[in-house]
Amino acid sequence: MTSDRISRIRLSSVALPLSTPVSDAKVFTGRQKPMTEVSMLFAEIATEGGHEGLGFSYSKRAGGPGQYAHAAQVAPELLGEDPNDIARLWDKLVWAGASVGRSGLSTQAIAALDIALWDLKAKRAGLSLAKLLGAHRDSVRCYNTSGGFLHTPLERVLDNAAAAVERGVGGIKIKVGHPDGGVDVKRVASVRERLGDDVPLMVDANQQWDRATALRRCRELERFDLVWIEEPLDAYDHAGHARLAATCDTPIATGEMLTSVAEHAELIRAEAADILQPDAPRVGGVTPFLRLLALAEHAKLPVAPHFAMELHVQLAATYPLEPWVEHFDWLEPLFVERLEITGGRMIVPDRPGLGLTLTERARAWTTDQVVLDM
């Protein structure tokens, strides 16, 4: 018998506006338009016993309405269920929408529900999610990305980087992949000079180089002592990434675009990454993310989860090998709470669950909503 049952689910589609249109290499190569908003999917799950959990997923540029629609179709499967049985419920949600596959938009929609169930479980235990899962640390190394996009003028990138380090962020990542390779080198050289040799520095090409260009660019960037070069090639070019990882001194990081444990398993099997960058909302939530971390640990791979620091700081704290977490300030307007950063590290919140509460602005930006009752 179950002592509690899921009685109510609220799903909200939220359009989070960005203050400035954002461009990375995909825009400069003509493959995408500048990003003006992030589409968020929130799931709020309540039980008969009075417990509540909050989860979220997201999409950039396209897919938000699709995630919301899929979640609204499969979420009724949770009503009346025991919220403790998270792994079984994840499988139930996947099978409810199996005709559209077990990766991509379908699992990203499920992620919001799965994360809400884990948040609920940790809150009920009176523990942070990291403590519930079993933490290895109370803080995680962090690096900032949001200040170094390609659309940002170089002087502003330099100021942003210096300000982030002054604020306590541990490393800086800037975007590369400009059609003019000289622009990339100038920007990286300028940031390295401004920060000095002791600040960890990373770059991200957002999949915009072909194999020959990637090898050439990676060699050109070797002198800057980078922590990693991220997504130099198409996300599914495992053979190309493996060749770069075996050839270049600078570690190769990738994985953020993959949307299932199976896809990450292939990446690991191909030895295509020196550093794995999984994204819990993209792979389907906490449940599959934990399976993925087990594969990464077995392969002795460092991890640096992509985006969504509000969730990933909790999950990164559970990984045995010292990880990184990505500091992105984009989602901050959605949540009342703020993450603490000091000495190059992000502190894992000790509030129960994820320790997150939606703001009034998040409610105001809601474009669609459905409430499901038992």
Tell me: is residue 114 an annotated ligand-binding position.
no
33 is catalytic: no
CA pair distance 168, 312, nearest whole angstrom? 18
Q: How far apart are CA 320 and CA 339, in angstroms?
A: 22
Check the annotation: does 332 bind a ligand. no
Centre a 10 Å sphere on the Cβ of residue 73 and count the other Cβ atoms it contains: 14
Query: Active-site residue among 238, 241, 306, 327?
Result: 306
Pick the closest to residue 141 from 199, 218, 59 (CA basis).
199
Quick check: 359 and 332 in contact, CB under 8 A? Answer: no
Other Cβ atoms closer than 10 A to 352 = 18
Q: Is 306 a catalytic residue?
A: yes
Instruction: Tell whether 77 is in a known binding site.
Output: no
Ligand-binding annotation for 60, yes or no, is yes
Q: Which residues pair with 58 in a beta bridge?
A: 40
310 is in an annotated binding site: no
Please tell me whether 300 is known to bind a ligand.
no
Residue 91 tokens, joined:
């499988």
Locate 229 and state its tokens: 């070069």
Was 256 annotated as part of a binding site?
A: yes
18 vs 327: CA distance, rounded Å: 16
Residue ranges in the chain assigned as alpha helix (H):
25-28, 64-74, 86-96, 105-125, 129-133, 154-167, 181-195, 211-221, 238-247, 261-269, 280-283, 286-298, 309-316, 360-364
111 is in an annotated binding site: no
Catalytic residue among 175, 241, 264, 327: 175
Q: Is 192 assigned to a binding site?
A: no
Q: Residues comprising the binding site for substrate?
A: 24-26, 60-61, 173, 206, 326
The residues carrying an active-site annotation are 175, 306
Q: Residues comprising the binding site?
A: 24-26, 60-61, 173, 204, 206, 230, 256, 326
Q: Residues comprising the binding site for Mg(2+)?
A: 204, 230, 256
